[in-house]
A and B are shown apart, each in its own frame.
Chain A
Amino acid sequence: AQSVTQLGSHVSVSEGALVLLRCNYSSSVPPYLFWYVQYPNQGLQLLLKYTTGATLVKGINGFEAEFKKSETSFHLTKPSAHMSDAAEYFCAVSEIGADGLTFGKGTHLIIQP
């Protein structure tokens, strides 16, 4: 069974600093990979996804993620954090041909002024 590990339940960065949220997956074959963001009292919103093709994926709000097969990773980055980026971020995987997504536990991103 596939699983998703997000390192760090809480990550704190200063406004303007680099954001790096880590995600590793376990799957026998490269899966489809997703990052979602959840703002307080809201549902999850798709940030970006990797299915096939280019391994560097750009998403909304200036975020991007790189699929590294050799490291089974899909880390999320943003060059310069903004206060509005404070939220919960979830990494998710779906095996090719599968219907459902498996989510990580989430990482709470805190932006320090």
Chain B
Amino acid sequence: DAGVIQSPRHEVTEMGQEVTLRCKPISGHDYLFWYRQTMMRGLELLIYFNNNVPIDDSGMPEDRFSAKMPNASFSTLKIQPSEPRDSAVYFCASSTGGGYYGYTFGSGTRLTVV
């Protein structure tokens, strides 16, 4: 099992540019979560999907953020346009059965917006 795979590992972009982060969950997992980690705010849940359907996007900070899950093996988190305050580590996690079994996290994407 390759675990949760995120790409890219690092992304540096200029303010105003579009950024797309990618995630491949563990095969068979029916939940996918996107988190953002910063020193100031810690871990924040942005959005999560169950069976490819977005369930709760109340954590998405602004309309500049959007997420999709076109199939069970792929999800994207897009920021357009990006701003310096979006700089953070973005984690994808997947699970089976929601919170009961805990999550498996990817290694994260470190985003720097200059």
Contacts and interface: CB of A to CB of B under 8 A. Distances in A.
Given A103-B42, A103-B43, A42 B100 contact: no
Contacts of A99: 31, 48, 50, 55-56, 98-99
B13 interface: no
A100 B33 contact: yes
Contact of A98 (B93, B99, B102, B107): B99
Contact of B103 (A41, A42, A101): A101
A101 B105 contact: no
B21 interface: no
A100 B100 contact: no
A112 to B, nearest CB: 23
Contact of B48 (A44, A92, A100): A100
Nearest to A51: B100
B105 A32 contact: no
Contacts of B93: 43-44
B15 interface: no
Nearest to A93: B99
Interface in B38-67: 42-43, 45, 48, 50, 55-56
Give the dominant DSSP class at B's interface: strand
B57 to A, nearest CB: 12
Contacts of A92: 102
Contact of A44 (B50, B55, B91, B98): B91
Interface string A17-34: 000000000000000101
B102 A34 contact: yes
Interface in A67-113: 90, 92, 94-95, 98-101, 103-106
Interface of A: 32, 34, 36, 41-46, 49, 51, 90, 92, 94-95, 98-101, 103-106
Interface of B: 4, 31, 33, 42-43, 45, 48, 50, 55-56, 91, 93, 98-108
5 contacts: A43-B108, A46-B102, A99-B48, A99-B98, A99-B99
